Amino acid sequence: MKVERGVSKTGAEAEADRQRELLAALFAPRADAGAMAIRESGARALRGLQAYRRNGDAAAQRALAAAFPTVQMLLGADDFDALACEFWRAAPPRHGDLGEWGEGFAAAIAAHPQLTDWPYLGDCARLDWALHCCERAADAALDADSLARLADTDPSRLVAEFMPGVALVESRWPIVSIHAAHSSGDDAAFEALRELIARQHGECAIVSRSGWKAIASPVDAATAQWTRRLLEGCELGAALSQAGEGFDFGAWLAAALQQHWLKGIRVRAD
């Protein structure tokens, strides 16, 4: 007997089209049920679509509030929620885990025409996102034995391996102080922060994890430059030659081990 496959394929295609239309309607700037090929129509369809959109908006607000707590406190809950909904429609998630959605939020904030009065907001969002991703990163243990390579191998063949989630965030604004002040709520911290912002005091942070908690460790420009090169895969020998005489590798290594930046040292194959 000949099996007819065309009907089932057409049904699958029709269902895929219906789902695409629903997604397009959910993320459209305005609710328009008339654009969807569904059984319901008119006011009933519009009410259903609006309910879906409200649920989506609420999910976006919760997800981004969890990932960007400093930005939420800077903007206030209402303005942050409106911005979250705007981003939800402009850059909808590509998979089901909303904890992984939000990578482009910092860039969207930095480019937003209505947020120019907060020039540091985009960098604050970058730090929030780095902390969020660090807390979600895989666990890893220090390879203590690999540190022996520092004593027996040419530095030109050595590469630093960092713990999952470790990141460097650099800014011309006091992003570490902004994050710390809003995390603590300390009045004295806010008083000092206003002065730092007024003179555009730049800060850099290395993000790492202590237990389950991500932390932002402030570092100076020389340490940031050195760490950036290593994160980019530069060999230790080349990085040392560019670091200058004042750079203290021993002090950096001690901090890297204490703050859980470093996973180990790897020998690069010739």
Query: Which of 61, 84, 118 lies at the terminal end of a domain, its last residue?
Result: 118
For residue 15, give the amino acid letter: E
Q: What is the pLDDT along the chain (270 residues), one digit of tens a residue?
A: 444 444 455 666 655 555 565 555 555 555 454 444 444 555 665 566 666 778 888 999 999 999 999 999 999 999 999 999 999 989 988 888 999 999 999 999 999 999 999 999 999 999 999 999 999 999 999 999 999 999 999 999 999 999 999 999 999 999 999 999 999 988 888 999 999 999 999 999 999 999 899 999 999 999 999 999 999 999 999 999 999 788 999 999 999 999 999 999 999 986
- Say whether both 163 and 105 belong to one domain: no
Predicted pLDDT of residue 166:
99
Query: Which of 91, 118, 145 lies at the terminal end of a domain, its last residue?
Result: 118
- Say whether both 129 and 214 belong to one domain: yes
Predicted pLDDT of residue 185:
82
Strand pairing of 213-219 and 262-267? unpaired
Predicted pLDDT of residue 1:
40
Q: Which of 169, 69, 79 is nearest to 126 (CA)?
A: 169
- Say whether both 176 and 86 belong to one domain: no
Predicted pLDDT of residue 43:
63
- The CA distance from 233 to 213, in Å, is 26
Predicted pLDDT of residue 70:
98
Residue 21's domain comprises 1-118
- The CA distance from 108 to 129, in Å, is 13
- Say whether both 81 and 125 belong to one domain: no
> At a CB cut-off of 8 Å and minimum separation 6, what does 248 contact?
none
E strands present in the chain: 158-162, 167-171, 203-210, 213-219, 262-267
In contact, 65 and 37? CB cutoff 8 Å: no
Predicted pLDDT of residue 11:
60
- The CA distance from 23 to 44, in Å, is 18
- Say whether both 202 and 253 belong to one domain: yes
- Say whether both 44 and 92 belong to one domain: yes
- Say whether both 28 and 78 belong to one domain: yes
- Say whether both 108 and 150 belong to one domain: no
The DSSP bridge partners found for residue 218 are 205
- Say whether both 96 and 132 belong to one domain: no
Query: Which of 67, 98, 118 lies at the terminal end of a domain, its last residue?
Result: 118
The DSSP bridge partners found for residue 217 are 206
- Say whether both 63 and 83 belong to one domain: yes
- Say whether both 126 and 102 belong to one domain: no
Query: Structurally, how many domains does the chain consist of?
Result: 2
- Say whether both 82 and 159 belong to one domain: no
Predicted pLDDT of residue 23:
54
Predicted pLDDT of residue 37:
46
